[in-house]
Amino acid sequence: MNQSFEILLKGSLDKVNYAIWLHENGQTGPLSVHVLAQVRRELEEMIKVMNPKNYTPTYPRYILDWPDEDGLIKELIDVVYLYQKIR
Protein backbone atom coordinates (compact mmCIF):
# COMPACT_ATOMS: atom_id res chain seq x y z
CA MET A 1 0.00 0.00 0.00
CA ASN A 2 2.82 2.42 0.76
CA GLN A 3 3.98 2.67 -2.85
CA SER A 4 0.51 3.26 -4.29
CA PHE A 5 -0.30 5.62 -1.43
CA GLU A 6 2.89 7.57 -2.12
CA ILE A 7 1.68 8.01 -5.71
CA LEU A 8 -1.65 9.32 -4.36
CA LEU A 9 0.19 11.75 -2.05
CA LYS A 10 2.35 13.01 -4.91
CA GLY A 11 -0.76 13.52 -7.05
CA SER A 12 -2.32 15.61 -4.30
CA LEU A 13 0.93 17.54 -3.95
CA ASP A 14 0.85 18.28 -7.69
CA LYS A 15 -2.69 19.64 -7.35
CA VAL A 16 -1.65 21.85 -4.44
CA ASN A 17 1.33 23.15 -6.44
CA TYR A 18 -1.01 23.89 -9.36
CA ALA A 19 -3.38 25.78 -7.05
CA ILE A 20 -0.44 27.86 -5.80
CA TRP A 21 0.57 28.52 -9.40
CA LEU A 22 -2.97 29.73 -10.16
CA HIS A 23 -2.81 32.24 -7.31
CA GLU A 24 0.66 33.41 -8.28
CA ASN A 25 -0.54 34.04 -11.83
CA GLY A 26 -3.53 36.13 -10.81
CA GLN A 27 -6.13 33.42 -11.32
CA THR A 28 -8.72 32.13 -8.91
CA GLY A 29 -7.68 29.02 -7.04
CA PRO A 30 -8.85 27.08 -4.02
CA LEU A 31 -7.83 28.09 -0.50
CA SER A 32 -5.20 30.81 -0.03
CA VAL A 33 -1.53 30.79 -0.94
CA HIS A 34 -0.59 30.74 2.75
CA VAL A 35 -2.81 27.74 3.48
CA LEU A 36 -1.69 25.94 0.32
CA ALA A 37 1.96 26.47 1.26
CA GLN A 38 1.30 24.91 4.68
CA VAL A 39 -0.54 21.97 3.10
CA ARG A 40 2.35 21.50 0.66
CA ARG A 41 4.88 21.35 3.51
CA GLU A 42 2.72 18.81 5.34
CA LEU A 43 2.23 16.63 2.24
CA GLU A 44 5.99 16.68 1.63
CA GLU A 45 6.57 15.61 5.23
CA MET A 46 3.97 12.84 4.92
CA ILE A 47 5.76 11.53 1.80
CA LYS A 48 9.10 11.65 3.60
CA VAL A 49 7.98 10.02 6.86
CA MET A 50 5.17 7.68 5.69
CA ASN A 51 4.36 6.81 9.30
CA PRO A 52 1.42 8.38 11.14
CA LYS A 53 2.97 7.41 14.48
CA ASN A 54 5.93 9.68 13.74
CA TYR A 55 4.16 12.51 11.91
CA THR A 56 0.54 13.64 11.85
CA PRO A 57 -0.53 16.48 9.56
CA THR A 58 -2.57 19.31 11.04
CA TYR A 59 -3.97 20.94 7.91
CA PRO A 60 -7.41 19.26 8.08
CA ARG A 61 -8.27 21.46 11.06
CA TYR A 62 -8.11 24.66 9.10
CA ILE A 63 -9.30 23.67 5.61
CA LEU A 64 -12.62 22.05 6.53
CA ASP A 65 -14.48 25.36 6.62
CA TRP A 66 -13.35 26.52 3.17
CA PRO A 67 -15.73 26.12 0.22
CA ASP A 68 -14.75 23.11 -1.89
CA GLU A 69 -15.81 23.95 -5.43
CA ASP A 70 -13.21 21.81 -7.19
CA GLY A 71 -12.92 18.84 -4.81
CA LEU A 72 -9.37 19.57 -3.64
CA ILE A 73 -10.32 19.91 0.02
CA LYS A 74 -12.18 16.59 0.02
CA GLU A 75 -9.18 14.94 -1.62
CA LEU A 76 -6.80 16.40 0.96
CA ILE A 77 -9.01 15.23 3.83
CA ASP A 78 -9.27 11.76 2.28
CA VAL A 79 -5.48 11.60 1.93
CA VAL A 80 -5.04 12.31 5.65
CA TYR A 81 -7.63 9.66 6.50
CA LEU A 82 -5.78 7.07 4.41
CA TYR A 83 -2.41 8.21 5.79
CA GLN A 84 -3.64 7.53 9.32
CA LYS A 85 -4.42 3.94 8.25
CA ILE A 86 -0.78 3.16 7.36
CA ARG A 87 0.63 0.49 9.62
Residue 44, H or E segment: helix 33-49
Q: What confidence tens digit (pLDDT) does each residue in 28-57 have?
A: 999 999 999 999 999 999 999 999 999 999
Q: Supply the pTM of this predicted model.
A: 0.92
Residue 10, H or E segment: helix 2-24
The CA distance from 73 to 32, in Å, is 12
Distances (CA, A) of 61 to 10, 30, 31, 35, 58: 21, 16, 13, 11, 6
- The domain ranges of the chain are 2-84
Q: What confidence tens digit (pLDDT) does each residue in 71-83 have?
A: 999 999 999 999 9
Give exposure, 11-22, as e/b (b: 16+ Cβ within 10 Å). ebbebbeebbee
